[in-house]
A = this chain, B = another copy of it.
């Protein structure tokens, strides 16, 4: 069994890839860079790939100018800071046009040319931060594109998209990661792209909330913590090896 995993360097793709590792004999990783402010994630992705012993790790660079309408890319736009209760309401300015569609397309070409059976994508629909291309109905629509648009699809051995985290919240993703020994200490989620995670952006907040609810300390370093994150009440995270 061969699997392609999309590795962003974040928490979700790390747990998704660790699940693929348990299932597949050969793992192929793909990391796509598109000028996002958190290029630090790319380095994390590389380390996670090494940790999981991937057979081939493909790095793709996409012209960021294509996504100029996103605040994640356009440095003239400000990324809004929102309260936890606002996250998930409406589509935020960090929305990147067609991002998961481009990611899945590349993963699909990679999978078909390497004769892989599955593509693992770490999206989740609960803490989905308002992005339309993280929802189950979107994934189903893309699966149909694969079934109808590829040689393998036509020949009745279509490549399947696996989204093992789609119905999990951050708490459950973190618990799953800890249980299966995913290298969460190597991940990076912050949008701000500084040396330490900012602790203020949507991504940091969702992540810290997840660790808090799972009862573990987030192993990466933060500049600051939200007032509701009580470090002292949490168990220390033990890095897997």
Q: Which residues of A are in contact with B by a Cβ distance under 8 Å?
A: 58, 60, 63, 66-70, 91, 95-102, 104-106, 108-110, 112-113, 132-133, 135, 137-138, 141-142, 144-151, 153-154
Q: How far is the CA of A139 from the CA of B32 in the complex (A)?
A: 25
Q: How far is the CA of A82 from the CA of B177 in the complex (A)?
A: 53
A141 contacts across to B, CB distance below 8 A: 141, 144-145, 147-149
Interface residue from B60, B105, B113, B137 paired with A148 (Cβ < 8 Å): B137
A144 contacts across to B, CB distance below 8 A: 141, 144
Interface residue from B101, B148, B150 paired with A108 (Cβ < 8 Å): B101
- Which of A98, A100, A150: most chain B Cβ within 10 A? A98
Decide: A98 and B69 in contact? CB cutoff 8 A. no
Beyond A98-B150, A102-B108, A132-B151, 18 additional contacts (C-beta under 8 Å) are A69-B113, A91-B151, A97-B108, A97-B112, A98-B108, A98-B109, A98-B149, A101-B105, A101-B109, A102-B105, A105-B105, A132-B149, A132-B153, A133-B148, A133-B149, A138-B145, A138-B148, A142-B149
Interface residue from B70, B91, B149 paired with A101 (Cβ < 8 Å): B149
